[in-house]
Structure 1
């Protein structure tokens, strides 16, 4: 059985802090030159990223986590009220023992409600 390594533990701490809306703790996990990238664009700086998260309520339900050298991949269900839950793959890169990069990958079709022919 594989044990959780230090970097995986840091990702779990970060996600737990976000779930608890403990943004100060979450921000401490981020490198000063943090870079976030998703389908919606790129955000530079941990403060900017945390400010975005403060405006929406979302929770992360971990499904799988694994790592390779200085990166961690976590697959989780993202739950946002009033929206359909979606599965997200997050790739975390580390520098100086902090999260330096976060790239999110998700299927956009699971993130939006598609109108049926009756609704169109």
Structure 2
């Protein structure tokens, strides 16, 4: 019963904002947001250059990672092909071509990206 009375009392004492005060608050909020946006956007060229240098700094380690993944896949593929060859499976050539192709693809993609970006 007491909780209902508190909610009822809160509804009755709820302060109402005058229509012009709400518009003033909204205008003030929009103005503040716009000023903050303008302050952040003044140095856009420097931000783009910083992003460019950061992406370029990650590119060489990423290329080396692709080469390492290609090497691991090549070793796993060689073991898998060797096992199929020893077992006498008929599709050994197909599996060997698939693994070899995937390793070549990784190396070619890393090399093409490196030459494309001119690093």
Larger Rg: 2
Give the strand-richer structure, 1 or 2: 1
Task: Give the alignment's TM-score, normalised by structure 2.
Answer: 0.19
Give the helix-richer structure, 1 or 2: 2
Task: Kindly indicate whether structure 1 or structure 2 has the higher relative contact order, using CA contacts under 8 Å at least 6 residues apart.
Answer: 2
Task: Give the alignment's TM-score, normalised by structure 1.
Answer: 0.19
